[in-house]
Amino acid sequence: MANKLKNNAASKATAKLYLNEKFADVHFVFNVNGKSEKVPANKTRLAVLSPVFETMFYGGIKEGAEVKIVDASAEGFREFLQFFYLDEVTLTMGNIETIARLADKYDVLEYVNACTAFLKSQLNVDNMCWGYQVAIFLKNQELIKFCEEKISLSPKEIFASMAFKQCEQETLEHILKLNLTCNEADIFDSCVKWAKYACIHNVLDENLASNLKNELGDCLKLIRFGEMTNEEFTEIAMSYKGLFTSDEFEDIFFTISSNGKYESKIFNQKPRKYIWNPKKVINCARPTESNTVKKTVQNIEIVSFTSNKPVLLGQFSTQPILTNGGNDYNVCYGNNYNYNYNHRPYNPMHCNVSVTISEIGHFHSGDARKTLHTGNYRTWTGNQLKVELPEPIFIKPQNTYEIRLSSISSNGGTYNSTYKPEVECADGIKIRFHRNQDCSSIDFVSTLCLNKL
């Protein structure tokens, strides 16, 4: 009968070999401040765990007793060698990039995964760009996805970090391809700061637009200038004269002015998919005037509004809808009826409402209408319709946006009026509601749920 015993002696013996000069049969040599520094190791121990080391020491062309290392520090290499000897490994942020690159170089997947887990626990807005750069180099999809989610949700905080200014152009290019939840003008400003830092690092005049453009390279073409307002782009063009060629200037101008009818020939204008952050919701709840009156719900209700700052619209709720009195009313189109005899709010749970949200440029300017969302909704909270958009909509400052609701009620519903035309929310966001040319009502929507950009 066999009896298994736990043997700690083997692990202890292996641990004693770590950096042990007496039993070493190979040394890794580093140039430290002009002097040679050697790190002892054991060929067999390394070869058993790494196919690259196995080839180096036991392949056709064998390495000798000394191996020169030029792509890592001696300190980082010692920390990397822990994986081959010790049951418990101590990782430090100062050397983690070196260790991760060495683990990738010597094809030890388990060690790459350990570095990934450590990085995820240590990354924040201050060093996220650096972590993303490491992830891209390693082609580690788990770490890449982690960093991209964090950068997409908090781009303005990420852009303010020194790690962003110091990141490589390839990393910047990857960042600009993400669905950044940020105003495009802010993205441009951050790219200019990155380019200025690069100019200083390369001993170039950071005040010359031509130098900024050379440092940015193709990254400039990844900025969605078409998502900017005319005012934002005009300010950029005036501040950085010479940054754009005449063809580039014309291309951007046509993209902005055509309201989606012109396709850019130079710049990537594929709209970003904005990410809704439920932890950063700003509720724009509209206060009522002192004197309110009742209005009849129309078959089509239209609400138009503008914002003084760039925001995301993710949800909105309607007014509470009431019945007019003791008659039987058909409060929804179709075959769904609800009867009320006691002036109580009706229950419209089966009412299907069509919602269309459009951008109509500057209010009453005659700009072409651009439909941003259409859908049918029947989610009611009590007697209020609650619309949760599948993707948030970017609301540009000073542009007018229209919410159109159809197939609600032709003769049965009423709601209280009037709301104040302007609401001041948190963080200085002001939403102003406008009367429409084809519908006098501005009061049917009671609450907008926003994310600040």
More confident residue, 91 or 453: 91
Mean pLDDT of 22-46: 93
Q: What are phi and psi of 148, to 5 degrees?
A: -65, -35
Long-range contacts of 17-24 (CB under 8 A, 24+ apart): 17/42, 17/45, 17/85, 18/81, 18/82, 18/84, 18/85, 18/86, 19/78, 19/81
More confident residue, 101 or 8: 101
- Looking at residue 370, what is its pLDDT? 82
pLDDT level of residue 342 (50, 70, 90 thresholds): very low
Q: What is the CATH number of domain 278-452?
A: 2.60.120.820
Mean pLDDT of 5-12: 75
Q: What is the CATH number of domain 9-122?
A: 3.30.710.10
Mean pLDDT of 190-212: 97
Q: What are phi and psi of 178, to 5 degrees?
A: -80, 165
- Looking at residue 21, what is its pLDDT? 95
| Percent of the chain residues past pLDDT 70, beyond the cut | 88
- Looking at residue 78, what is its pLDDT? 96
pLDDT digits (tens, 9 = 90+) for 395-414: 988 789 999 998 765 455 77
Mean pLDDT of 269-282: 88
What the block records as the tokens of 231 is 């005012």
More confident residue, 400 or 441: 400
More confident residue, 275 or 148: 148
Mean pLDDT of 216-236: 92
Q: What is the dihedral of CA 223, 225, 228, 233, to 10 degrees?
A: 110
pLDDT level of residue 361 (50, 70, 90 thresholds): low
- Looking at residue 54, what is its pLDDT? 95
Q: What are phi and psi of 391, to 5 degrees?
A: -135, 135
- Looking at residue 436, what is its pLDDT? 62
- Looking at residue 338, what is its pLDDT? 44
pLDDT digits (tens, 9 = 90+) for 287-319: 887 777 778 788 888 899 999 988 999 999 988
Mean pLDDT of 63-77: 92
Chain-wide mean pLDDT for the chain?
Answer: 86
Mean pLDDT of 68-72: 93
- Looking at residue 350, what is its pLDDT? 52
333 pLDDT higher than 70: no
Mean pLDDT of 337-366: 60
Q: How far apart are CA 453 and CA 440, in angstroms?
A: 31
- Looking at residue 192, what is its pLDDT? 98
Mean pLDDT of 126-143: 94
CATH 3.30.710.10 positions along the chain are: 9-122
336 pLDDT higher than 60: no
pLDDT level of residue 362 (50, 70, 90 thresholds): low
Whole-model pTM: value is 0.76
More confident residue, 6 or 150: 150
- Looking at residue 24, what is its pLDDT? 95
Compute the Cα dihedral for 412, 413, 416, 418 and give only its sign. Answer: negative
CATH 2.60.120.820 positions along the chain are: 278-452
Give Cβ neighbours of residue 284 (< 8 Å, ≥ 6 apart).
423, 425, 429, 431, 447, 448, 449, 450
pLDDT level of residue 345 (50, 70, 90 thresholds): very low
- Looking at residue 409, what is its pLDDT? 58
More confident residue, 80 or 406: 80
- Looking at residue 408, what is its pLDDT? 67
- 18, 81 Cβ separation under 8 angstroms: yes
- Looking at residue 443, what is its pLDDT? 78
- Looking at residue 66, what is its pLDDT? 93
Residue with tokens 């600040």: 452
More confident residue, 209 or 342: 209
Mean pLDDT of 326-354: 48
Give Cβ neighbours of residue 239 (< 8 Å, ≥ 6 apart).
none
The residues pairing with 387 across neighbouring beta strands, listed in sequence order, are: 316
